[in-house]
Structure 1
Amino acid sequence: MEIEIATIGGYEEVGRQMTAVRAGNDVVVFDMGLNLSKVLIHDNVETERMHSLDLIDMGAIPDDRVMSDLEGDVQAIVPTHGHLDHIGAISKLAHRYDAPIVASPFTLELVKQEIDSEEKFGVENDLRAMEAGETMSISEGVELEFVNVTHSVIDAINPVLHTPEGAVVYGLDKRIDHDPVIGDPIDMDRFRQIGDEGVLCYIEDCTNAGKKGRTPSESVARRHLKDALTSMEDYDGGIVATTFSSHIARVKSLVEFADDIGRQPVLLGRSMEKYSGTAERLDFVDFPDDLGMYGHRKSVDRTFEQIMSEGKEDYLPIVTGHQGEPRAMLTRMARGETPYELENGDKVVFSARVIPEPTNEGQRYQAERLLGMQGARIYDDIHVSGHLRREGHYEMLEALRPDNLIPAHQSMEGFAPYVDTAEAFGFEIGEDLHITRNGNMIQLVE
């Protein structure tokens, strides 16, 4: 059976992921993501009202026109998890393909919300939920499997396309976490089984490939966060926390530790309300009945007024804005655009790292400077990554033993550390180690 891979997006940057695998006459697409930084550099861009071609020209979504070079029919569109760099272009591109969108339940619900907010295109693809550990027949001899992985968003999977020539494992994004705060540990046993059965190709996320050691468990971040907040227990002023809205495990920890130090947690910001509300509705997390979640600006400002009236020392606002996004809640607070008044000595906890990209780094720097000008004390980088470090990459290669390897989820510069790791395993560039760019085709079996 002919096996061909189209590397469409995410092979020159971190963002706008999209890869297509052709097995005979059948094509499966993995991810359709957004490069948010390409949107943020423009003022007041509303992507839901824009045409896909304009977003392609901006470099914000994958240029999927290369799909016309694949000789086959798309049988499934498979997002791996709910981050926008993996699902943010589905509402712009999926309608071009007569194929279902197949995803884990939480991811699928977020995809539905993206589609519901779309104003330019009607997306009528079937939506199918599939749990980790389940399989779906694509055609005779070709099967799709979901393997449970751990990442910085719940319900993440690595999809595996089983073919007569061996498995194609799409390995974005994960860390090897044996003690997650929410959900099951990564299913390394299944990866080892798949390796024993034979892996034709492994496509791997290279985000942290240059960092030594292994990525710590989310339980480590939870302990670090508890230590930081407990140290503030006797402070009688304002404490504000921010993290990735999609990081439900981290939000859960913040909510629990707020109660431990005698403060009422409240979730503020549109995306904070969206992700946590969805996770609670689908029973992935059990928040206190009285936990407030407010996304609309007027509701948020009313909540801030209540906090200022009753006393900042009684509350822990958990807000959007960990990257310094201009319209996010923390940035508005830093600019003095909300009723919440920051004062000298107030604490701001960043339970997130700066995404290493110039737009984010600049915005985060500006937000921290503005917070500092109001006297806020910054607690930085109380976080663990959702991506593998070097030892995790070694472990995955030992488990899967693939015939071919394709680095992804980085720039050419970012691929270099992973290439060093792969070469240490005996892979050779131009032979079984395929360094590629957006829009390329790789023929694995002719």
Structure 2
Amino acid sequence: MEIEIATIGGYEEVGRQMTAVRAGDDVVIFDMGLNLSKVLIHDNVQTEKMHSLDLIDMGAIPDDRVMSDIEGDVQAIVPTHGHLDHIGALSKLAHRYDAPIVATPFTIELVKQEINDENKFVVENDLQKMEGGETMEIGNGLELEFVHVTHSIIDAINPVLHTPEGAIVYGLDKRMDHTPVIEDPIDMKRFREIGREGEGVLAYIEDCTNANKKGRTPSESVARRHLQDVMTSIEDYDGGIVATTFSSHISRVSSLVEFAQDIGRTPLLLGRSMEKYSGTAERLGFVDFPDEVGMFGHRKSVDRTFKRIMNEGKENFLPIVTGHQGEPRAMLTRMGRGETPYQLDDGDKVIFSARVIPEPTNEGQRYQSENLLRMQGARIYDEIHVSGHLCQEGHYTMLDALQPKHVIPAHQNMKGYSGYVDLCQNQGYELGRDIHVTHNGNVISLVE
């Protein structure tokens, strides 16, 4: 059976992921994501109102025109998890393909919201839910399997396409977490089985975000302990404490809620995306927040909540807000500019339970946001976080488990690939033979 892989997006950058695998006459697409930094550098861009071609020209979504060179029928579109760099282009591109969108329950709910917010295109693809650990027959003699992984968002999977020539494992994005906070551990047992059954693993497509970092990525439970230590250390402060993290990081948000109550403060989730992700997670039963936790997304309701905090005393509340990357319109940035009823005073604490995404636009915005907060007297607690991506020892463990015949680095630029290429070469792989460093719009033929 002919096997080829189209590396459509995310192979020269971090963001706008999209990969297509053709096995015989059948094609499966993995991810359709957004490169948010290409949007943020423009003022007040509303992507939901833009045409796909304009977004392609901006470099914001994948240029999927290479799909016209792929001879086969798309059988499924499979987003791995609910981050926008993996689902943010579905509302712009999915309607071009007569295929269902297959994803885990939490991811499907986020996809629905993306589609509902779309103003330019009508997306009528069927939405099919499949849990981690489940499989489905697809195309002619193929099987799609979801392997549960841990990441900085719940309900993430690595999809595996089983073909007569061996398995194609799409390895974006994951952390090897054996002690997560609210989910099951990563299913390493299943990865090891896949590496040793049938024809083994023909190709492994791997996220290289942290491939140049030594050691292993710590568990979310490590970030939880760090966060608890910081919040306990400021328990007696009688002024304002504000926290920010990734809105989609439900495990971290749940820890912030718990520790806020432990130090005698009412947690409040503020911002559109904070309300969106946490509300969806609670509705699906992934988390059960206490009744006193308020979620407010609309600007006016957020400002009313800020007025309540100022009237009842900042020492009684912990606002958990959007804006950890310094996004211009996010809650924390507005607070830093003095555009909300919440007033920061000398000595007030701002907890960043997130790292800045290593990309110039984000780094510049975060730098500006922190300066604005400091100018108002805020004391900043930074880097209370663990990454959602594998470092080098995790990559070594995955190669040992899967023993793939071919490896394809993804989710980075050429410099970011270097650590992974070195690691693979140390394990006997050879660049150009079975290590395929590629670019957006390329097609790799594995079996002819």
Q: Hey, what does 1:230 align to over in structure 2?
A: 232
**Cα deviation code 1:204-242 (max 9, x no counterpart):** 000001111100000000000000000000000000000
Q: Hey, what does 2:145 align to over in structure 1?
A: 145
Q: Distance in 1 between matches of 2:175 and 2:257?
A: 24
Superposed displacement of residue 290, structure 1: 1.9
The answer to whether the 8 A contact 2:213-2:391 is kept is: yes
Q: Distance in 1 between matches of 2:208 and 2:182?
A: 24
Q: Which amino acid aligns with 1:102?
A: V
**Cα deviation code 1:248-279 (max 9, x no counterpart):** 00000000000000000000000000000000
The answer to whether the 8 A contact 2:336-2:372 is kept is: yes
Q: Hey, what does 1:79 align to over in structure 2?
A: 79
Q: Hey, what does 2:174 align to over in structure 1?
A: 174
Superposed displacement of residue 409, structure 1: 0.2
Q: Which amino acid aligns with 1:14?
A: V
5+ residue gaps, structure 2, are: none
Superposed displacement of residue 79, structure 1: 0.1
Q: Hey, what does 2:100 align to over in structure 1?
A: 100
Q: Which amino acid aligns with 2:110?
A: L
Q: Which amino acid aligns with 1:298?
A: K
The match for 2:292 among 275, 290, 293 is 290
Structure 2 matches for 1:257-272, cutoff 5 A?
257-272=259-274
Q: Hey, what does 1:436 align to over in structure 2?
A: 438
Q: Distance in 1 between matches of 2:130 and 2:292?
A: 32
Q: Hey, what does 2:160 align to over in structure 1?
A: 160
Q: Which amino acid aligns with 2:68?
A: S
Q: Hey, what does 1:423 align to over in structure 2?
A: 425
What SS is found at the alignment partner of 1:430?
coil
Superposed displacement of residue 130, structure 1: 0.2
Q: Which amino acid aligns with 2:63?
A: D
The answer to whether the 8 A contact 2:108-2:127 is kept is: yes
What SS is found at the alignment partner of 1:194?
helix
**Cα deviation code 1:158-197 (max 9, x no counterpart):** 0000000000000000010000001100000000000002
The answer to whether the 8 A contact 2:154-2:250 is kept is: yes
Q: Hey, what does 1:136 align to over in structure 2?
A: 136
Q: Distance in 1 between matches of 2:351 and 2:40?
A: 23
Q: Hey, what does 1:187 align to over in structure 2?
A: 187
TM (norm. structure 2) is 0.99
**Cα deviation code 1:290-314 (max 9, x no counterpart):** 2100000000000000000000000
Structure 2 matches for 1:200-211, cutoff 5 A?
200-211=202-213
What SS is found at the alignment partner of 2:53?
helix
What SS is found at the alignment partner of 1:184?
coil
Q: Distance in 1 between matches of 2:433 and 2:392?
A: 22
Q: Distance in 1 between matches of 2:51 and 2:141?
A: 38
Superposed displacement of residue 140, structure 1: 3.2
What SS is found at the alignment partner of 1:360?
helix
Q: Distance in 1 between matches of 2:355 and 2:383?
A: 5
Q: Hey, what does 1:376 align to over in structure 2?
A: 378
Runs of 4+ in 1 over 3 A off after TM superposition: none
Q: Hey, what does 2:50 align to over in structure 1?
A: 50
Q: Distance in 1 between matches of 2:362 and 2:274?
A: 19
Q: Which amino acid aligns with 2:319?
A: P
For the pair 1:91 / 2:101, whether they are aligned, the reply is: no
Q: Distance in 2 between matches of 1:436 and 1:269?
A: 38
Q: Distance in 1 between matches of 2:328 and 2:139?
A: 47
Q: Distance in 2 between matches of 1:422 and 1:438?
A: 21
For the pair 1:401 / 2:432, whether they are aligned, the reply is: no
For the pair 1:126 / 2:106, whether they are aligned, the reply is: no
The match for 1:273 among 275, 296, 318 is 275
Q: Hey, what does 2:23 align to over in structure 1?
A: 23
Q: Which amino acid aligns with 2:94?
A: A
The answer to whether the 8 A contact 2:192-2:401 is kept is: yes
Q: Distance in 2 between matches of 1:233 and 1:44?
A: 38
Identity of aligned residues (%): 81
The answer to whether the 8 A contact 2:26-2:140 is kept is: no
Q: Hey, what does 1:13 align to over in structure 2?
A: 13
Superposed displacement of residue 139, structure 1: 2.4
Q: Distance in 1 between matches of 2:267 and 2:257?
A: 6
What SS is found at the alignment partner of 1:220?
helix
**Cα deviation code 1:395-435 (max 9, x no counterpart):** 00000000000000000111111100110111101100000
Q: Hey, what does 2:318 align to over in structure 1?
A: 316
Q: Which amino acid aligns with 1:26?
A: D
Q: Hey, what does 2:220 align to over in structure 1?
A: 218
Q: Distance in 1 between matches of 2:70 and 2:444?
A: 11
Superposed displacement of residue 289, structure 1: 1.4
Q: Distance in 2 between matches of 1:445 and 1:378?
A: 54
**Cα deviation code 1:21-48 (max 9, x no counterpart):** 0000000000000000000000110000
What SS is found at the alignment partner of 2:190?
helix
For the pair 1:114 / 2:114, whether they are aligned, the reply is: yes
The match for 1:250 among 238, 249, 252 is 252
Q: Hey, what does 2:32 align to over in structure 1?
A: 32
The answer to whether the 8 A contact 2:266-2:292 is kept is: no
Q: Distance in 2 between matches of 1:418 and 1:228?
A: 34
Q: Distance in 1 between matches of 2:221 and 2:201?
A: 31
Q: Hey, what does 2:366 align to over in structure 1?
A: 364
Q: Hey, what does 2:392 align to over in structure 1?
A: 390
Q: Distance in 1 between matches of 2:279 and 2:229?
A: 27
What SS is found at the alignment partner of 1:410?
coil
Superposed displacement of residue 14, structure 1: 0.2
Q: Distance in 1 between matches of 2:14 and 2:430?
A: 24
Q: Distance in 1 between matches of 2:292 and 2:317?
A: 13
Q: Distance in 2 between matches of 1:133 and 1:214?
A: 25
Q: Which amino acid aligns with 2:76?
A: A
Q: Which amino acid aligns with 1:51?
A: H
